[in-house]
Structure 1
Amino acid sequence: MFKRVLLTALLATFLFSCQQRPESDISYEISAVMVDSVPQLKIKMTLKASPNGTTTLSFPNEAWGQEGLHKALGKMQLLNVEGAVEKDADSSRIVLMHPKDVEELEFEYFLKQDFEGDVSTSKIYRPIINKTYFHAFSHNMFMIPENAGESEDILLDWTSLPEEYTIHNSFGSKEKIQLLKDQDVGLFSNAIFVGGDFRVFNGEIQGNKISLATRGEWIPFKDEEVFKVLEETLTYQRNFWNDHSQEYFTVTMQPFPQENGSSFQGTGLTNSFATSVSNNDQTDIGQMVYLFNHELMHNWIGHTIKNDNEEEQYWFSEGFTEYYTFKNIAKNNINGLGGTFYIDELNRTIRDLYASSVGEVPNSEINYDNFWSNYEFSKLPYWRGAIFAFYLDQKIQRASNGTKSLDDVMHQIYDDATEKGQKLTHDYFTGLMKTYWDGDFDAVFQENIEEGQKVDLVALFNELGLEYSPESDVYELGFEFTEGRKGIASVVEDSKAWEAGVRQGDEVFSRSIWQGNVEHEVELGLKRDGEEIRVSYYPTKKGEVPQLKHTTENIEKLGF
């Protein structure tokens, strides 16, 4: 009887194993190990061998602003055949050399965290692996065979990880075996994978799953507050676009320590959005409302509606996304934010654009080099595009007596993108706008986008009967750093920085600066002639910058 029971149990285990390990083109078996007291992930990979005896795997050494990613790789070896493994950092390849008659390879490699100390904004895009959890992106975790097709059956086997580990990623949650059938390899290569002590919150929007995975003890907010913001954001955005086609979507949120100020960043990925957020009392839930609404709006503006020329149409992909971030939040009262919030964000954007030293450069100067190397150039498309979108929205509503708005234009652009594969070009946009515009729209577009001239907001506010102030405080830091930001290179005389005592030649040993924000003080620790000096001031100056007033009449006229 005992033998029969044992045989039955073994047979059940065998059948369970067979069910849990289906056939695939590429498989990864992941386990957690300690190597010389260092926590690592061991990844056993099974893949097709190249008939010429050399199989190459892609594993970038440089990606997403990070260099030297191959330093995260530990021991590598072929398991089922004699051969050799070579790391080619210059080409971002791992080369497997093996007999030509082999059809399948079993290859094992180890992955480790290659930095010490706390996680930071500069480290979040490297593999994070410790005794408690791991956090990695596809490109720095899973090697991809270069002989793979556009789509493959990919198996992820997490069963060797500790039982208490939460497994969560762009393709599912708490699944120890994941078979990704006919998986687009490019989409697989653009995903987030986390495991360990993550907490997962789940919900549904019209039958489609959404989730939030986070960890650590948050200081500024509760998990439930963040999940509610996520749920509201996705619900209202999907309703706006009338698009509830995504069956699964997740957000991961990783905390990192930061002593002064707050910072947050996010990366849109396959079925997911990965965020990292400073965990201190200077971060607040309102920043998560903005982050989620802006970045998740890119599911449509930027992802479905693609720019024909990336930098040339940043005014649309970033600027219109920014405008619809404000509008979506206020229209739907997300986290209690309504018309006053809309006016606040609009005023802030106006101040930023008017105070910018590059505020009226031609659109052609927003190129790759400028955008990625200069803060003001990187923000200019957000500011210019958002103000232009506001201008168009109000003019369309006024010309149509409220029967149409910029929303109708956006829906038409979305329909053309999904049904015809139409990309956003200047000719396409101006052609479409002519059906909504009363007058010469080509001239308007040429002046405000191509040439970069500011929209005449004073004339617009007067036309709409909106109450406004003709001037405002605008941002002025008041000094320039030396290279490396360790000293003061120059100071604007009579600026707030000058009045506070900042002088050319001062050494900087500490700083807290909210770039572009007039509501937070700049705090500097300076050294001069061996003496330590601490200064603080509001980085402002007066400018002829129109600002809408927070009146009930303004809020009603703007549609809130």
Structure 2
Amino acid sequence: MIKLLYLLLFIPVYAFSQHKISYKVYYDQNMEKNGLKIRVDYTAKSPSETSLFYYRNENWGEKDLFKSVVLSKEDNSGISFETQPENDEIKVRHPSSRKISFVYRIRQDFKDPDPRIFNRPRVNDRFFHVMGKNLFIVPKSFTEMPDNQEFEFNIEWIGFPKDFKLHNTFASQAGKQKIKTVLWEGFYNSLFVGGDYRIYDFKIHDKPVYFAVRDEWINGFSDDFLVSNLKKAVQSQRDFWKDYDQDYFTVIMSPTASQKDSLFKGYSTTGSAIKNAFMIQGTNNPFNNKNSYLYLLHHELMHEWIGNRIQNKHEELNYWFSEGFTDYYTYKNRLRIKDISYDEWLKSFNEEVIKSHWKNPQRNLVNYKIKDEFWKSRNAEKVPYRRGAIFAFWLDNQILIKSGYKKSLDNLMQELLKICTEKKLKFTDELFLELVQKYLDKDISYFFQKHILNGEDIDLVSEKWIDGFRFQITDGIPKLQADASSEGKYIL
């Protein structure tokens, strides 16, 4: 009886220990030279002399990331390592035990400034900026478990000065963190920063939103401009979705290269939606463009719902939705909150969506090829954005007409969010088409197959549009014409 009781008590603890790992991250005055020192502690399933750990060698366009990892004998007495970058694998040889502990360092492997590098670890004496996937090594067994398996990641930040800000997509200014989340869409879909960042916060429906920024941005990019527009965008999007449940959210903005003169020609910026956050990186120079920042802000924030809460089941094959509909609502929501005027909306949608799509030599790329071509070609990458945005505009108009201006695509999107979250479903073409049929009272599968999957152009001139909208062909490209009276119907 005593043995049975012991086993019953032991099994839950034993099982949970396999899903728990701890890290200690140490401050170093000379991080640029020595890197970020990290000690990992893990209790394995059974004693062994060899353990396999995982580190991603290629991530978001960056290759050979093992160059950022330092595994030294000086830090690890009695332990040896064998790295296999081609397998994203580190073999650790250690004294036989269930408990495994070793030290590694993450350093920057390129010379600053480099405006072309976005996602490699940045580590110097003033700050660090590292994706979770490239900061924390995990047991290889973690990567072999179901995607919905939760783990407990314990992090302790040791020796960092008070003026060295610590901020990430799970907490702000926390010396100790206990993070319970999944691996791929949680812990590894994250960003950790520290150093000379300025951190601002505000609340929406009593839920905190943080903004972390470093460097002195020029050409009107004051902290007040950045924060006030962030607050406006977050408020408007949460109001649109009627969704105020997120307990923590942050935007992190870092320069890839800063120059007060025009050494770096042009303005290059990128944004990426990640767990509880999105990050902005770009050149900081006299070419900083406010409108591009605002577009990026609204686009990436919208991904919190279209892409994160409503998740693609087939990733790139569903980019016509997750990128296209996000892009569509980037323009529509900016118009709705008067961030741009009606004339500005019309000009932007014509120039940046319709005209850019028609001038793209790969605009008729069939959807199944986007999966392979998306990461290889800039033209292929933009196809699902613009094709999806034009389809969203068409569908919005059809729902407005069908409902007598009582409903719009907004209603469908809000219902889609509810279905996906409450029923824990991922987005598929079939789910979407079934919902569209409810709003239009007809099956548009043929239209969808022809224009979204096969990539044929929609005959915009011949389609039906709300009162005040019409298309005409100018130099072989469709152009939306809009009467002033149409604005109220469009953004009802």
Partner of 2:451: 448
Q: What letter is aligned with 1:543?
A: G
Q: What letter is aligned with 2:226?
A: V
**Partners in 2 of 1:210 and 1:463 — Cα distance?**
38
Partner of 2:240: 240
Q: What letter is aligned with 2:65?
A: L
2:46 counterpart of 1:46: no
Partner of 1:496: none
Distance 1:178 1:36, change over 3 A: closer
1:184 Cα deviation after fit = 3.0
1:226 Cα deviation after fit = 1.2
**Partners in 1 of 2:32 and 2:222 — Cα distance?**
34
2:178 counterpart of 1:170: no
* TM value normalised by structure 1: 0.76
- Confirm or deny: 8 A CA contact 1:32 1:40 kept in the other structure: no
User: What are the Cα deviations for residues 110-144 of structure 1, in whole angstroms up to 9, with x where unaligned?
Assistant: 2211111314232x211111111111111211111
Partner of 1:314: 319
Q: What letter is aligned with 1:205?
A: I
- List aligned pairs for 1:53-202, cutoff 5 A: 53-77=49-73, 82-100=78-96, 102-122=97-117, 124-148=118-142, 150-180=149-179, 182-186=180-184, 187-202=186-201
2:479 counterpart of 1:546: yes
1:31 Cα deviation after fit = 1.9
**Partners in 2 of 1:154 and 1:441 — Cα distance?**
46
Aligned partner of residue 236 in structure 1, secondary structure: helix
**Partners in 1 of 2:431 and 2:397 — Cα distance?**
21
Q: What letter is aligned with 1:127?
A: P
Partner of 2:214: 215
- Confirm or deny: 8 A CA contact 2:31 2:124 kept in the other structure: no
User: What are the Cα deviations for residues 359-404 of structure 1, in whole angstroms up to 9, with x where unaligned?
Assistant: 33433343x2222212222111111111111111112112211111
**Partners in 2 of 1:37 and 1:191 — Cα distance?**
22
2:355 counterpart of 1:351: yes
Partner of 1:204: 203
Distance 1:559 1:81, change over 3 A: closer
- Confirm or deny: 8 A CA contact 1:268 1:295 kept in the other structure: yes
Aligned partner of residue 396 in structure 1, secondary structure: helix
1:456 Cα deviation after fit = 2.6
Aligned partner of residue 158 in structure 1, secondary structure: strand
Structure 2, unaligned stretches of length 5 or more?
Answer: 1-18, 258-262
Distance 1:35 1:172, change over 3 A: closer
**Partners in 2 of 1:67 and 1:299 — Cα distance?**
27
- Confirm or deny: 8 A CA contact 2:397 2:465 kept in the other structure: no
- Confirm or deny: 8 A CA contact 2:22 2:41 kept in the other structure: yes
Q: RMSD of the alignment, in Å?
A: 2.5
**Partners in 1 of 2:162 and 2:487 — Cα distance?**
54
Decide which structure has the larger Cα Rg and report it: 1
Partner of 1:273: 278
**Partners in 2 of 1:313 and 1:177 — Cα distance?**
38
1:194 Cα deviation after fit = 0.6
Distance 1:163 1:350, change over 3 A: same
Structure 1, unaligned stretches of length 5 or more?
Answer: 1-23, 472-541
Q: What letter is aligned with 1:311?
A: E
Distance 1:118 1:451, change over 3 A: same
Partner of 2:3: none
> For structure 1, which segment, 372-381 or 353-362, has the greater mean C-alpha deviation from structure 2 after superposition?
353-362
**Partners in 1 of 2:247 and 2:31 — Cα distance?**
42
**Partners in 2 of 1:105 and 1:457 — Cα distance?**
63
Q: What letter is aligned with 1:246?
A: Q
**Partners in 2 of 1:114 and 1:293 — Cα distance?**
33
Distance 1:271 1:146, change over 3 A: same
- Confirm or deny: 8 A CA contact 2:398 2:465 kept in the other structure: no
**How many residues matched?**
460
- Confirm or deny: 8 A CA contact 2:32 2:107 kept in the other structure: no
Partner of 1:18: none
